[in-house]
């Protein structure tokens, strides 16, 4: 008997690949021009680096960024010239991109660039039907974005919930930019809509620790855990799970470029100072930003960004949970992670003044 949709699971590793033909000529499916980062830099002033409050809810994050938008646009909004929320969202996008561009120009581009272009290309997923490139940043909703990309290209009457977590990360049907010749890569980067999402660096760090070191995923809970125990414990065969302090000591002892992608700085994963992303989304406004992305690339109206979670019984890592873990660190450890993620704080406009939000231990 044929299984119903809810009973079946999509084996994404076996489905036929969708049409991979691409159109080099860019179309503006939303009817609104997507302005490049370079054009934004000339039109907007760089805003206060610390205007985004630490670990705020989505609504407060959105409201704070509205306040930080361009003064003229803000004035238009107050006088009713911007009744459409989409225009308000575009003003926030302009602000995010102008802040990023300004900070990139102030810093040495070579210093900010990943040492290996292939590493960055390995993070970029290409969806040809809608001419869409997504930079994967682990712990920033990437599993659900990969489910969305699969559904965009596959023309399947399916739900995101039918695609298993492990399958979506193992399938070869979602193509990476690195699999194409350099000339074709450049063609895609010049003509496709490029998107990346970020998250407050500390919340992302805690999320990675909880997800990878506290669960029974063999590579992280055994292999990586044993490496950490060997570095910081006299008895490396100890059965106790790796503590958050040990985890922080482990990642801050390595060069940033050598870190696992789940806790590597976001700017090293996506190279935003050299790849001009059309849309800069944030985890703090994930639902709103994702819906705009889907609209801009011309996705079917029935397709929405899902909110699936791998460990459904567990609470998502939020501000309160993050602060619980941060309170376990001493001032030296705090300074080390602050240095490690310094460029993420600056480029993506997250506050580094998090000392105000919890008491440091001695």
Mean pLDDT of 156-179: 65
pLDDT of residue 118: 75
- What are the tens digits of pLDDT across the range 243-280? 999 999 999 999 999 999 999 999 999 999 999 999 99
pLDDT of residue 1: 47
SS (H, E, C) 184-215: HHHHHHHHCEEEEEECCHHHHHHHHHHHHHCC
Please check whether residue 204 is in contact with residue 260, taking contact to mean a CB–CB distance below 8 angstroms.
no
Distance in angstroms (rounded) separating the CA atoms of residues 14 and 19 = 15
- State the distance between the two ends of the chain, measured CA to CA, in whole angstroms: 65
Mean pLDDT of 281-309: 86
Mean pLDDT of 179-183: 93
> What is residue 34's three-state secondary structure?
coil
- DSSP annotation of 333 reads H
Instruction: Output 38 or 7, whichever has higher pLDDT.
Output: 7
- What are the tens digits of pLDDT across the range 40-69? 333 333 333 333 334 444 445 555 555 554
Contacts of 177 (CB under 8 A, 6+ apart): 121, 122, 124, 125, 126, 133, 185, 188, 189
CA distances for 78 relative to 32, 87, 128, angstroms: 22, 13, 40
CA distances for 34 relative to 26, 29, 126, 173, 308, angstroms: 11, 10, 18, 28, 29
Residue closest to 337 by CA, chosen among 229, 250, 217: 250
pLDDT at 16 over 60: no
Mean pLDDT of 312-332: 87
Q: In what order do the strands lie in the sheet with 175-176?
A: 175-176, 124-127, 132-135, 193-198, 279-282
Distance in angstroms (rounded) separating the CA atoms of residues 167 and 10 = 9
- What are the tens digits of pLDDT across the range 142-153? 888 888 888 888
pLDDT of residue 109: 54
- Report residue 94's pLDDT band, with 50, 70 and 90 as the boundaries: very high
- Report residue 196's pLDDT band, with 50, 70 and 90 as the boundaries: very high
pLDDT at 37 over 60: no
pLDDT at 134 over 80: yes
DSSP strand E in the chain: where? 124-127, 132-135, 175-176, 193-198, 279-282
> What is residue 167's three-state secondary structure?
helix
pLDDT at 75 over 70: no
Distance in angstroms (rounded) separating the CA atoms of residues 106 and 115 = 19
Minimum mean pLDDT range among 226-240, 275-289, 345-359 = 345-359
pLDDT of residue 19: 37
pLDDT of residue 85: 61
């Amino acid at each position: 008997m044929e299984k119903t949709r809810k009973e079946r699971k999509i084996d994404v590793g076996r489905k036929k690949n969708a049409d991979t033909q691409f159109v080099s000529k860019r179309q503006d499916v939303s009817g609104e021009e997507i302005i490049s980062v370079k054009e934004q830099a000339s039109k907007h002033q760089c805003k206060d680096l610390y205007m985004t409050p630490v670990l705020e809810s989505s609504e407060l994050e959105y409201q704070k960024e509205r306040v930080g938008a361009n003064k003229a646009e803000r004035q238009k909004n107050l006088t009713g010239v911007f009744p459409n929320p989409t225009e308000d969202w575009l003003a926030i996008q302009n602000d995010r991109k102008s802040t990023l561009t300004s900070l990139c120009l102030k810093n040495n581009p070579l210093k900010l660039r990943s040492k290996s272009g292939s590493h960055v290309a390995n993070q970029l997923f290409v969806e040809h039907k809608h001419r869409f490139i997504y930079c994967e940043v682990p712990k920033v909703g990437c599993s659900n974005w990969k489910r969305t990309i699969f559904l965009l290209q596959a023309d399947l009457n399916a739900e995101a919930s039918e695609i298993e977590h492990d399958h979506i990360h193992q399938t070869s049907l979602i193509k990476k930019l690195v699999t194409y010749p350099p000339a074709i890569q450049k063609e895609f980067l010049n003509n496709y809509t490029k998107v990346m999402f970020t998250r407050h660096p500390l919340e992302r760090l805690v999320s990675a620790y909880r997800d990878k070191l506290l669960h029974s995923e063999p590579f992280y809970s055994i292999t990586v855990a044993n490496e950490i125990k060997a570095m910081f414990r006299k008895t490396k065969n100890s059965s106790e799970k790796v503590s958050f302090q040990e985890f922080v000591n482990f990642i801050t002892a390595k060069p940033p470029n050598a870190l696992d992608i789940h806790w590597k700085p976001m700017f090293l994963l996506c190279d935003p100072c050299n790849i001009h992303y059309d849309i800069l989304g944030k985890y703090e406004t994930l639902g709103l930003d994702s819906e705009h992305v889907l609209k801009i690339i011309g996705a079917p109206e029935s397709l929405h960004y899902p909110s699936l979670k791998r460990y459904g019984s567990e609470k998502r890592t939020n501000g309160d949970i993050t602060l619980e873990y941060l309170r376990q660190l001493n001032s030296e450890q705090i300074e080390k992670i602050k240095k490690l993620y310094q460029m993420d704080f600056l480029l993506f406009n997250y506050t580094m003044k998090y000392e105000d939000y919890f008491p440091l231990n001695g």
